[in-house]
Amino acid sequence: MYDRLFHYIEQYSNSTLSESEKEVLTNTWKPQTLKKKAFFLREGELCNFAGFIVKGAMRQYTVDDNGIEHVSELAIENWWIVDRKSYFERTPATTYIEAWENTEMLVLKRSNLDIILEIPSIKEMFWQMNQRNQIASQQRLNDIVSLPASKRYENLQKKYPAIIERFPQHIIASYLGITKETLSRVRNRIAGKNP
């Protein structure tokens, strides 16, 4: 389980973890298992943990005043899941985080963050992660504002085909900011193009 985390860290840094650094990580990151539909976080709670998904799939979403869910994040193996604002600013969460499949993860308690930031590979990894996250968030916002539904779906399909395979149509539609009916039409149109 930890080998996957170690590999991820080394992949996004310029250094190799020492055995003592690995020991620090195994002492600060704890395994957690969630059954399908179990919540990692609910709106209003304090997000005390950041999760690294080892196996499974999760979604992060908000619920508006009309009870409609709006998916903001979809995550699978080797992805992170956290309500960043709540985790870093210590404010109540504005999102729900739910296991969409049975999920195994390693979780980092907020109070252990400073301990692991002493490890150079972790600092490098977080720098890379934050850059990639910011770029992806900006691109997603630009896509939602400027691209038609069909192009948003095609981009998601090309970049993250596993997401398309692992989540149902209504979740994908919410993530793309479109209705499930629109997504159904888009998928039918694409299927017609690629017999």
62 phi, psi to nearest 5 deg? -115, 165
- Over residues 30-49, the mean pLDDT reads 98
Residue 60 pLDDT greater than 80, yes or no:
yes
Residue 14 pLDDT greater than 70, yes or no:
yes
Q: pLDDT of 121-132, one tens digit each? A: 999 998 988 898
- Which of 113-122, 135-144, 186-195 is predicted least confidently? 186-195
Complete domains list, the chain, with CATH? 2-116 (2.60.120.10)
Q: pLDDT of 132-185, one tens digit each? A: 888 988 988 888 889 999 999 999 999 999 999 999 999 999 999 999 999 999
> What is the chain's mean pLDDT, rounded?
93
Q: Give the model's pLDDT for residue 190.
A: 82
CB of 96 within 8 A of CB of 43?
yes
Burial of 192 (0-12, 13-18, 19+ CB in 10 A): exposed
What lies within 8 Å, CB to CB, of 178 at 6+ separation is 149, 152, 186
Residue 195 pLDDT greater than 70, yes or no:
no
Residue 194 pLDDT greater than 80, yes or no:
no
Instruction: Please report which confidence band the pLDDT of residue 193 belongs to, taking 50, 70 and 90 as the band edges.
Output: low
